[in-house]
Amino acid sequence: MKRNDLILGVLVMVVWGLNFSVIKLGVNEIDPLLLTALRFSLATLPAIFFVKKPNVSWLYLIVYGWLFAIGIWGMATWSIQAGLSAGMASVLLQMNVVFGLFLGYFLLKETLSINKIIGSALAIIGLLLCLTVTNGSITQSGLILILCAALAWSLASITVKKAAPKQVFAFSLWAMACAPIPLFLMVYWQSGSLPFNTLSTQLNGRVIFSVLFQAYPVTLLGYWIWNRLLISYPLTMVAPLTLLVPIFGLLGGALFYQEQISAVTLVASLCVISGVFVGFISFKPFKKWV
């Protein structure tokens, strides 16, 4: 990988890792789903007026948009509001790799390899260790929500494979445009008109920064650079960069919120991160078990 592209890739991982702390900054002030709705509203407007709709079915756009915006980031944002620390949210979201492995195996008939089995086992051990954490960085509801987000990420990846879009950025942009209205409706269904009536008084500098940071550096710029790297280099060269996300997520939580990283938390995080890393090592795959 060229040096400048590597630097850009690492910077995107820094932004994505710190994003969990920025999300926490916003959910401390307003409804998590409303925060997510505002994020994707700004990420798609007015950019969508300058990008032509990709040549894929509306069904794929809607399904991916809902999984990505509502399933992944709606649930991840909600998990932080439900008490999950920003650092642990960034770590546990990596469980999408494990879910994706099993979904790919059962739904897409993909093969399993030694490294994927070992990596999944390590990640699951890390997840089980998280259940023993008692320092307040993990809550039951937060854990369930972040695992829902990880599962949604895996389903979103399968949707992309099925859609096979040629214009990746346009596909992402138009798909995300399908999410804000359902998110606003979910907020109204849960809490009525109160979050909307109080929004003008809650839009302080912290909330505005949180929304803008998530909409532009994280979503538009970050995914544009990431997709460009995916097109330019082999997946095995680019994908390991994502292992930096939970590292910067943990550091961001510790730096900005003094989130505790206990021995158990550290071991659990290392198990999850190591499991994802081992999954990238190439071994001869097993045939599908019958």
| Non-local CB neighbours of 252 within 8 Å, separated by 6+ positions | 17, 18, 20, 21, 86, 87, 90
- pLDDT, mean of residues 241-261: 88
- pLDDT, mean of residues 31-38: 96
Q: Exposure pattern of 101-138 as b/e (b: 16+ CB <10 Å)?
A: bebbbeeeebebbebbebbbebbebbbebbeebeeebb
pLDDT digits (tens, 9 = 90+) for 188-199: 999 999 999 999
Tell me: pLDDT of 123 over 80: yes
pLDDT digits (tens, 9 = 90+) for 125-158: 988 888 787 777 789 999 999 999 999 988 988 8
**Range among 41-55, 157-171, 216-230 with highest mean pLDDT value:** 41-55
Q: How far is CA 4 from CA 8, 220, 230, in A?
A: 6, 19, 15
Please provide the average confidence, as pLDDT, over all residues in the chain: 87
| Gyration radius of the chain over CA positions | 19
Q: What local confidence, expressed as pLDDT, does residue 132 receive? A: 81
- The whole-model pTM stands at 0.87
Residues paired with 286 in a beta bridge: 112
Tell me: pLDDT of 47 over 60: yes
Region of poorest pLDDT, from 56-60, 72-76, 98-102: 98-102
pLDDT digits (tens, 9 = 90+) for 256-278: 999 888 888 889 889 888 887 78
